[in-house]
C-alpha cells in the first residue's frame, strides 16, 4: 500500500505542496487574511515568517502552524520602524537558509475621515503604512530577489478596491492603495527581465475582517498612544438598504480564507506567467 501511495504521489505535479521549500514573509499575519495566508502557505510547504505588531497573536499563529507539522517563525514588531524591517529580513534569511522567495505585503488598517476634516496624522500614518512600508521591505530584501539561481521569486502587494475605484471617507487609504498598484508594476518591470521576479497586486473588496466588522464591536489599533477605532459604523451599514451587499453580484462578503486563497493562487507556480497585474478579489464588478 505504501508503495502505491508513493507511486501516486510521484504522479502529482506538486506532491510536496505548491510552495515546497520556499521562504515567505507575510506581514500583518497575526490575524485575518494574513493569518490565513500564513496557514495556507505553510500547508503548501512554505517556511513562513509571521510578521505582526501584536506579538501574542504572531506567536499563536506560528505555534499553530508548527504544531500541525508546518514551519513558521514569529517575528513580531512595528513595520513603521526601519530597524524592524531590517530585523524581519535578517530573521527570514536565517530561517530560510540564506534565501527569501516570497513577500506578501499585507499589514495595515484604516484611519478614515472625510477630506476636509482629515488630519496630517491620519494621512501620514496610512500613507506610510500602506505605501512606504511595502517599498522599504522590498528594498531591504532586494539582495535576495535580485539573484539568478533558477528558483521562483515573487512579491504580492495587497491593495483594495478603494485604491482601484476610490472611496468616500478614505482618501488617505485610497491614495496609498493606488500607489501600491504602481509600485507593483514598477517591481515587475525592474526585476522581471533579468531575475524572473514576479510582482502582482491583490485588491480586496468586502472581506470579513476587523476592518469591515461593525465599529461598535470595539476593535482598535494603538497609534502613538491614541486608540483608533476600526470597522464600519452600524449606522452606515444600515444605510445600505434592505438588500445586503447589493453592489456585490455574489450578495455576500468574502471570508478571510477566500481572500488568502487568492494570494496563494497568485503566489503559486500555477500563476508563473502572471506578473504586473492587479487581481480584484471582491466578488464584484464595480
Active site (catalytic) residues: 173
Count the Cβ atoms, other than its own, within 10 Å of residue 116: 5
* Three cell numbers, residue 232: 464600519
Show Cβ contacts of residue 266 under 8 Å, excluding neighbours closer than 6 positions: 154, 156, 200, 202, 274, 279
Closest to 181 in 3D by CA, of 197, 165, 155, 163:
163
- Tell me the three state secondary structure of residue 134: helix
- Widest pairwise Cα distance in the chain: 70
Closest to 286 in 3D by CA, of 236, 254, 248:
248
Count the Cβ atoms, other than its own, within 10 Å of residue 90: 12
Closest to 125 in 3D by CA, of 75, 176, 55, 161:
176
Closest to 123 in 3D by CA, of 108, 110, 134, 107:
110
Amino acid at each position: 500500500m505504501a508503495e502505491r501511495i508513493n507511486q501516486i504521489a510521484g504522479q502529482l505535479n506538486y506532491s510536496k505542496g505548491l510552495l515546497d521549500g520556499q521562504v515567505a514573509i507575510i506581514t500583518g499575519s497575526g490575524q485575518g487574511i494574513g493569518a490565513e495566508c500564513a496557514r495556507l502557505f505553510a500547508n503548501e510547504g512554505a517556511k513562513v515568517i509571521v510578521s505582526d505588531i501584536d506579538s501574542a497573536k504572531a506567536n499563536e499563529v506560528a505555534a499553530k502552524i508548527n504544531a500541525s507539522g508546518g514551519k513558521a517563525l514569529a517575528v513580531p514588531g512595528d513595520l513603521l520602524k526601519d530597524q524592524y524591517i531590517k530585523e524581519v529580513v535578517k530573521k527570514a534569511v536565517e530561517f530560510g537558509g540564506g534565501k527569501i522567495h516570497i513577500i506578501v505585503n499585507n499589514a495595515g488598517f484604516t484611519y478614515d475621515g472625510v477630506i476636509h476634516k482629515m488630519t496630517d496624522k491620519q494621512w501620514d500614518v496610512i500613507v506610510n503604512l500602506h505605501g512606504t512600508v511595502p517599498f522599504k521591505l522590498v528594498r531591504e530584501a532586494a539582495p535576495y530577489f535580485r539573484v539568478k539561481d533558477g528558483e521562483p521569486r515573487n512579491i504580492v502587494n495587497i491593495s483594495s478596491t478603494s485604491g482601484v475605484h476610490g472611496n468616500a471617507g478614505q482618501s488617505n487609504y485610497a491614495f496609498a492603495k493606488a500607489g501600491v498598484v504602481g509600485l507593483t508594476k514598477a517591481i515587475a518591470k525592474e526585476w522581471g527581465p533579468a531575475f524572473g521576479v514576479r510582482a502582482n497586486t491583490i485588491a480586496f473588496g468586502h472581506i470579513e475582517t476587523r476592518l469591515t466588522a461593525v465599529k461598535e464591536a470595539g476593535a482598535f489599533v494603538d497609534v502613538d498612544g491614541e486608540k483608533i477605532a476600526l470597522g464600519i459604523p452600524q449606522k452606515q451599514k444600515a444605510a445600505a438598504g434592505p438588500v445586503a451587499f447589493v453592489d456585490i453580484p455574489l450578495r455576500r462578503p468574502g471570508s478571510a480564507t477566500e481572500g488568502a486563497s487568492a494570494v496563494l493562487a497568485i503566489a503559486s507556480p500555477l500563476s508563473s506567467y502572471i506578473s504586473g497585474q492587479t487581481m480584484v478579489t471582491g466578488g464584484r464588478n464595480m
